[in-house]
Amino acid sequence: MEDPESAGAAPPPGLSSLLPPREFLRSRKGQLLLAESVLSFIIFICYIASLAASFMMAPLLEFLLALFLFFAYASKLNEKFKGVHWPLADFLRCVTAAIIYFAISIAAVSKYSDGASKAAGVFGFAATIVFAIDFYVTFNDLVTFLKQGSSDSPEGHKTE
């Protein structure tokens, strides 16, 4: 029996239709968003199990935002909705997430003595690094995006 993918037949509809394409999962942006989602979820679970449960809202929001952007980029919503400045929104999300994770990780590690708080702090420092890498990559995309926008501006078309 021949493999359906090698024969060129489309896979049957079902759960596989909800999964993002392999090209996106192999891209740097896809891997960063997936790492951000996984780390945010782990940190959220650690904060639920710790004495520092007051910090659980930040990882939950970052998990949901990263998951939304993961599926938005995977389904190419950024190409369909041109009114939203996707690189700018992603850049601001990454910068604020890195700052917030760094601050709450310091507080969780220094103020609380239980193991779950310490684990959340350590994972929070790892998330800070991942978000910092993402905002560096996104900053380069944002600069390119803004340069493209400035070349289309009316100032570049002055003839007088």
Alpha carbon of 97 to those of 63, 74, 86, 134: distances in Å? 10, 21, 16, 10
Cα 57 to Cα 69: distance, rounded to the nearest angstrom: 18
Cα 125 to Cα 102: distance, rounded to the nearest angstrom: 6
- What was the pLDDT predicted at 157? 46
- What was the pLDDT predicted at 16? 63
Classify each residue of 87-109 as buried b or exposed e, where b means 16 or more C-beta atoms within 10 Å of its C-beta. bebbbebbbbbbebbbebbebbb
Enumerate the H helices of the chain as residue ranges. Answer: 22-26, 28-48, 57-74, 77-80, 86-111, 115-151
**Residue-wise pLDDT tens digits, 113-158:** 899 999 999 999 999 999 999 989 989 877 887 788 766 544 444 4
Is the pLDDT at 159 greater than 50? The verdict is no
**Residue-wise pLDDT tens digits, 13-46:** 666 666 677 787 788 888 999 999 999 999 999 9
Mean pLDDT computed over 97-107: 95
- What was the pLDDT predicted at 76? 85
Distant-in-sequence, close-in-space partners of 146: CB < 8 Å, separation ≥ 6: none
Cα 29 to Cα 73: distance, rounded to the nearest angstrom: 9
Greatest Cα pair distance in the chain: 71
Q: pTM for the full model?
A: 0.78
**Residue-wise pLDDT tens digits, 48-100:** 999 888 899 999 999 999 999 888 888 888 788 878 788 888 899 999 999 99
- What was the pLDDT predicted at 75? 86
- What was the pLDDT predicted at 43? 95
Token pair listed for 45 = 């679970």
